[in-house]
Amino acid sequence: MRSIISAIGTANPPNRFAQSQILEFMADAHQLSANDRSRLKKLYELSGIEYRHSVIDDFGLQRGSYKFFGNDVLLEPYPTTQCRSSLFERKAIDVCLAAVKNLHEQIPDFSIDQITHLITVSCTGLYAPGIDIDLIEKLSMNPTVERTCINFMGCYGAFNALKTADYICRAESQAKVLIVDIELCTIHFQRENTLENWLANSLFGDGAAAVLVENESHRSTAVGFNLASFFSELQLESKNEMAWRIGNTGFEMRLSSHIAKHISKKINGVIDSLLEKSKVDPSKISSAAIHPGGRRILEVCQEKLDGFCLKHSFDVLRKFGNMSSATILFVLQQLLAESKKGSYVMGFAFGPGLTIESMLLQTI
């Protein structure tokens, strides 16, 4: 029997900032000249992002009123990795619980007591006892729930969670798997005035998603996504184009301007391999869900996926920015609400490696 995504819930922190607000914070934080401020403004205007959410208030405040960053010109005292990790531990659980609540609103007759497996995903925060144990405690879940943590895999982390849930549900027909994906990207803001920091600081936001995966024979909803097939390909020649390492002042992101070009070269080959593995006629595929890593990534995918509309990916980017691994689940939530029964959806996400993860879903 097949395994299915029965429902998807999403949530964001209450702080919602216009991209123009964040621009002012960043220009001040980087101590930009008038010329560089103009260049940064252009980058923000071309980002395809209108709003982002954050657990940090400061991005909408003036210097002198900051609560997390220091209030002098260098943001001193500047938050250490320990300080940022402590903020993740305090704030992540509330966003996770809101995502689970949103999930439950869609399947009100489903009881959390039925969950047999919990998979948590994050590449922006780690602690132990971790978010998985906090969720079990806050949701009063059965203490016998089996737990799996998927960490530090970057923007494709949710794909690995879905694959793991698929394996579980195929092996155990009674299994009910809850995936909770939480990313608080904005806690890792870096102040150094570099083009890489300009790019990273222009993209990322905070958000969480919750997904219920079940065996089709014991599903809780009439509509869902069958997890039909997965395919992953690692592009080692491009492994240095994207990196995510732990520094003394948070996690440090490296994003090359060549990432979109590498994706453009490889994505059609990945599509061919995915379809060959799944034995699905390409004419049956009605839509695509692309991780909105950035506007240019979506544009090159749009060019290569001729005939497919990526409106949901562009819409999520516009409303929320790049929320790392949780972002693709926001896209799938929108698609699940409108996909026609029997239609197929291709999904893609990209991350360190350079890794291209793909999947094929069928609406039931």
Q: Which amino acids are annotated catalytic? A: 155
Q: Which of 333, 329, 42, 353 is nearest to 208 (CA)?
A: 329
CB 330 within 8 A of CB 208: no
Q: Which of 323, 12, 363, 328 is nearest to 158 (CA)?
A: 328
Cα–Cα distance measured from residue 121 to residue 161, given in angstroms and rounded to the nearest whole number: 7
61 burial via Cβ count (<10 Å: 0-12, 13-18, 19+):
middle
Phi (first) and psi of residue 340, to 5 degrees: -85, 145
Residue 325 CA from chain centroid, whole number: 3
Strands 355-363, 117-122: parallel, antiparallel or unpaired by DSSP? unpaired
Q: How many Cβ atoms from other residues are within 10 Å of residue 169's Cβ?
A: 27
Q: Is the link from the previous residue into 77 a cis peptide, with omega within 30 of 0?
A: yes
CB 28 within 8 A of CB 63: yes
The angle formed by the CA atoms of residues 139, 144 and 147, to the nearest 5 degrees, is 75
Cα–Cα distance measured from residue 189 to residue 337, given in angstroms and rounded to the nearest whole number: 34
Residues β-bridged to residue 227: 361
Which residues have a Cβ under 8 Å from the Cβ of 111 and sit 6 or more positions away?
A: none
